[in-house]
Structure 1
Amino acid sequence: MKFINMMKPLKALGIAVTGGVLMSGGMTAQASEMHEYLLTVTRPNQLHVIDTETDKLVRSCDVPGIFGNGGIATSPDGRVAYVLSGKWEDVYGIDITDCQLVFSAKQSSKTEQVKTIISMTVSPDGKELYTVQNPVKLHSDHFEVQTPRLAVFNTADGMDAKPVRTFPVDRRITKLGRLDSGEVILGGGDVKAIDPKTGEIRTLAKLQNWDRSPEKWVPPDAFQMHTMGEHIGEYIMPYFTIKWNGDPGDMEKAEFLWGMTRIDTKTGEVESGEVLPFEFIVFNWVTDPNNKDIVYGSFNTLSKHNVKEGKTLAVHNLEHTYYNLNMLEDGSKIYVGGTSSDISVHDPETLEKIGSIQLTGDMSTSDLRIAKLRL
């Protein structure tokens, strides 16, 4: 497998040991520490590993198959990145320290085509990988749509892994997350949790099926592209809705609102409700790790909001559209990416641009993931 090292191998990602000390991205650290790396995928199909201390590209790993949607799920130890490839059908696990392929799963067969729309995550112990499969049965003259299902893979099965369990789930699921309890969060029209051992499903927050009066509220648009919040142990899903203060459809009296469902993945605590006036589009939100009342959003602007007070604190115009963003665990940097071939780096306090990372191809709809590699 081809890989490009932008730094000396002995300084990259904890693969050298000298006198009991591990060297990671040029940083010396004791073995109990962790170092954060930013992961994304670009066309034609490469996984990029970026050192967040220097904001330099460490290596680029070729991903088998044709570019999918750039979806990434990371192992709990930060070492393996599972990348959705093959036109949204196949999953490949890549060791980010040396680009070695350690896992593969081809989800389609000769009689069935399977698409996974971004939805992928890993169990808290790293032993299982979960995808939501949207299958279509292939007949000689037509397609037959099947029920979506959660597929469970053993990561230890390595190459050519097959699901060990499947369970039926709702349609339109795009964002998966994991609770420390072992349940998998299913983000779609509503937000639910499924036990991947038994298939038992419970509702965490009603959105499309909420019981608010349709004469007063428009059912929310909760579709989102990426799963955010692993940097502080949460799952966050924005939504948009309209409150009719007059007759339904009376735009003069209507309130246009951002809401969100946010879940503490450690405790399972759920909060859901409207938080801000709808003033501009954001594709994703990420929470400030130092203040859970502060969230940031990105699209044509990078914006900062206080959701407790319902206020927009700052807005910074971006050089072009960016679909995605993420933050470091200590809250010291915001990374804004997706769409094009550059990642824009910003100061969370002022939102001013403080750096840029140029990649070899465009990210399109790809994830921006933080891998915390245990040294």
Structure 2
Amino acid sequence: MSNEPSAKKHRGRLRSGIPGGEVIGLYENVLHVQEMLKKMQPIADGGEGADGNNEDLIPVDDVADMVGEIVKLLATKVHSRPAFALSGLQQAQIEALHLTEGPVLRLKVNPERMEHERAHGADQLWSDATFYRHLCILHSSVTRTEPSARTFIDAFFFRAAAIFSSRNSEGKRLILGLELPVSTPVGNDKATLNGFVDYAIIPTRDELAASFMRDPLLRKIRLHSDYVLFITEAKAVDVSLGHQLPQALGEMYACSEALDKKMIRGALTNGRSWLFLLVKLDGEGGTYRVSHEISIMAPGPDFSLEVNPASCAQVSIILASWIENSFTDLDSGDWFEC
């Protein structure tokens, strides 16, 4: 009889305790290992390695069998939930994800504070005055089509970066991520959201900025950034922003789950009009709040639409504040209240 202790066989359901997003990453890694094992050259029993000995040979078949079983277990978990494309989300799917609308975000009127904030970055390229003149040029020179929204959004990013840098003493700067891929389970793994996030504005230090710009991934934000603001570009020019809200909410929901945050702020815009959003998760779903639409356009003397300097300043200042408080709930210092 062998003196070696008998191996115990554990039975029951696998309970990994691994978050859904990490399960997907683990599944992809195990698939990679499985492919590597398939490429290994089998050696007959009694054979020797290239160096003339068999001490470092591994029974690949046994390992391959174990890896295959792990792939089956993970595949069941990864592929058992419905998947939704962010670009095609509808209100019915938002409701199916248990996101419900909460109180509206009401803008606070504070002219004195607004004037004070407009002075930030006055000594930089993107001062409030330069920013306004730039938007006037865009309005008079850029066609009103879907791609034109990005020219306006970019300008708001540059102005928000100037505001941020002028009042930030921690050596951080803003970087802009475009079309970030996201694929993550939501609602306790009941569904998966797949697609791309249009804009991600990330405050970070120079040494981390280079890494993110080289390889923009949400997991790097999770590890290295205390906050990030997500902006969704409206995909139709002459359609109300409210009708395009589901995609923005879906992007925010996916990103909050991927970043393991229970509160996240964002915005939806066509460049000329803006909606500011706040999503709060509770495990099964959550609630969202939406501001009234803020337009940077206003009727001029001849009743044609012109760029309004006060509205432009208002939106850029809210953006800068939204970036710095992107994972927190509203407080008394915010520009909005419920």
Q: Which has the higher contact order (CA 8 A, sep 6+)?
A: 2
Q: Please identify the structure whose Cα radius of gyration is greater.
A: 2
Q: TM-score, normalised to structure 1's length?
A: 0.24
Q: Judging by fraction of residues, say which structure has more helix.
A: 2
Q: TM-score, normalised to structure 2's length?
A: 0.26
